[in-house]
Amino acid sequence: MTFQVTDYHDACFKSFFSQDEFVRDFIQYYIPEEIKSHLDLSSIEIDMEGYVSEEFKEFYSDVVVMISFLDSDQTLEMYFLFEHKSSPDRFARLQILNYQVQKWMRMLKNKQLGRRLPIIVPVIIYHGTRSWKYSVDFEEYFRLPSDAFRDFIPKYRHILHDIHSMGDESLAWEMNLSRRRP
């Protein structure tokens, strides 16, 4: 699948996140320790393919990265879904949940699933002019009349890397971190 990237920031994002070394450094410096301490950072595989259904074909995921777990007696894989946003998007959590389901459904269709679904950690990288004001928790979309309904709402969140206060020069420096850090 070919993507036409018309936004300068999207083009930069895709260019940088297509590089193994950059993705490895991003995970090393910006993903919480309690997650990255379980990962084999030498096992990165980048997938620039979007996860699109016919009904949502105007959406596509930015970058999906497959990575293996450390110290596992089985082959366990997980994914990071990196999504770039240049303006606050109230329904970004719904969009990335759709990407996750599309990935799992494609794996099911291609008979690539074992007994369990792989973990997909969504990361929104936000570079806009205003502050990101939306929650990272999916359940914030719902108004529950009582706690009895809580079991029917997915417990789901994403990581937000908010770099909205950076100018384009700072963004270029930040996006080149893999060339600057040992």
User: For the chain, where are the alpha helices, taking DSSP H only?
Assistant: 8-17, 20-30, 33-36, 92-109, 168-175, 177-180
By percentage, how much of the chain surpasses pLDDT 90?
32
| Lowest pLDDT segment from 9-13, 62-66, 115-119, 130-134 | 9-13
> How many domains does the structure of the chain reveal?
1
Q: Is residue 2 one of the residues assigned to a domain?
A: no
The reply to whether 30 falls in a domain is yes
Residue 3 lies in a domain: no
Q: For position 50, what pLDDT does the model report?
A: 55
**Average pLDDT in the chain:** 79
The more confidently predicted of residues 111 and 7 is: 111
Domain housing 102: 8-178
Lowest-confidence region among 25-39, 47-61, 107-121, 128-142: 47-61
Instruction: Note the pLDDT of residue 69.
Output: 87
Give how far Cα 162 sits from Cα of 4, 38, 83, 180, Å: 24, 24, 12, 21
Output Rg (C-alpha) for the chain, integer angstroms: 17
Q: Is residue 78 part of a domain?
A: yes
Examine residue 60 and state whether it is found in any structural domain, yes or no.
Answer: yes
Q: Per the confidence metrics, is the pTM higher than 0.85?
A: no
State phi, psi for 49 to the nearest 5 degrees: -75, 135
